[in-house]
């Protein structure tokens, strides 16, 4: 593959190092990761050695490793014993491609929307069901991943290795874990196994001037779950539900 087919401006040496670190953290061999991502083992070896790759290939890998693009591409912290998150460096990742509702020339940042009023507008109109802000506070090689979710509509079903802690910062949330529904109000929390299929949705309608549902999510990783972590993107897609809004009482 030529470098011209890879995204420009990305540090692939850094990306390769982080892919390898997460793979080893989850107890996966290069062949394991290749099989679960549906790509060749040699591709994993090339990426981990710092060679460029296509966005689609990296997307398959990061889904298996449960990683955001922002985690793979951001700069290394200045020290390895303590990492601090600064709000001015926060970026809110979109959940749907902006090209679904905007023309290419109107998109200054194709992966983020950092204006809170624009997020509120897009969320209420249904263009973006949710946004995710990865907190830049993970220790290199650490076991905790922290992030914020701003949710306007039902999310898709997800599953991943480790334990997941969810704290409701604002609004009310409906959370489904293995098909069981839980209600979280502001100040309440829940912890569950990340390998169980789970999904979020607002429990109430957000007014035009209201505060959206916001969740703090912390995932503690251990060794990879040999069952759930084996899912390919195709298998994940099969889990994505028919809209739960078909159920009585579900949010609009």
- Nearest-angstrom CA–CA distance, 243 and 135: 29
Q: Render each residue's pLDDT in the chain as its tens digit; 252 residues.
A: 444 456 667 899 999 998 998 898 888 999 999 999 999 999 999 999 999 999 899 989 988 888 877 788 877 777 678 888 888 888 999 998 888 887 766 777 888 999 999 999 999 999 999 999 999 888 877 889 899 999 999 999 999 889 999 999 999 999 999 999 999 999 999 999 999 999 999 999 886 668 899 999 999 986 544 334 444 344 444 444 444 443 333 333
What confidence score (pLDDT) does residue 153 get? 95
CB-CB contact of 3 with 25 (8 Å): no
What confidence score (pLDDT) does residue 117 get? 92
What confidence score (pLDDT) does residue 40 get? 96
Q: Which domains are seen in the chain, by residue range?
A: 3-73 (1.10.260.40), 87-246 (2.60.120.10)
Crossing angle for the helix pair 55-65 and 12-25, to the nearest 10 degrees: 30
Round the average pLDDT of the chain to a whole number and report it.
83
Q: State the DSSP code for 245.
A: G
- Nearest-angstrom CA–CA distance, 213 and 204: 9
* pTM for this model (two decimals): 0.72
Distances (CA, A) of 222 to 103, 126, 213: 42, 36, 29
What confidence score (pLDDT) does residue 224 get? 47
What confidence score (pLDDT) does residue 210 get? 80
What confidence score (pLDDT) does residue 252 get? 33
């Amino acid at each position: 593959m030529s470098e011209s087919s890879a995204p420009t401006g990305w540090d692939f040496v850094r990306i390769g190092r982080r892919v390898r670190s997460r793979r080893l953290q989850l107890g996966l061999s290069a062949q394991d990761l290749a099989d679960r991502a549906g790509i060749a083992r040699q591709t994993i070896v090339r990426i981990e050695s710092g060679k460029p790759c296509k966005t689609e290939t990296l997307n398959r890998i990061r889904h298996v490793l449960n990683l955001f693009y922002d985690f793979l591409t951001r700069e290394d912290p200045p020290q390895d014993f303590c990492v601090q998150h600064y709000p001015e460096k926060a970026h809110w990742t979109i959940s749907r491609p902006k090209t679904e509702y905007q023309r290419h020339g109107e998109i200054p940042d194709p992966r983020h929307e950092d204006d809170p009023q624009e997020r509120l507008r897009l969320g209420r109109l249904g263009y973006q069901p949710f946004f995710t802000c990865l907190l830049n506070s993970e220790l290199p090689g650490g076991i905790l991943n922290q992030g914020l979710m701003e949710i306007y509509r039902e999310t898709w079903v997800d599953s991943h290795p480790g334990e997941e802690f969810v704290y409701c910062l604002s609004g009310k949330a409906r959370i489904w874990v293995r098909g069981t529904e839980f209600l979280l109000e502001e100040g309440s929390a829940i912890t569950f196994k990340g390998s169980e299929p789970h999904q979020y949705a607002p429990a109430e309608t957000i007014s035009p001037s209201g505060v959206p549902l916001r969740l703090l999510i912390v995932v503690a990783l251990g060794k990879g779950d040999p069952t759930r972590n084996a899912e390919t993107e195709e298998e994940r897609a099969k889990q994505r539900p028919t809209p739960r809004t078909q159920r009585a009482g579900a949010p609009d």
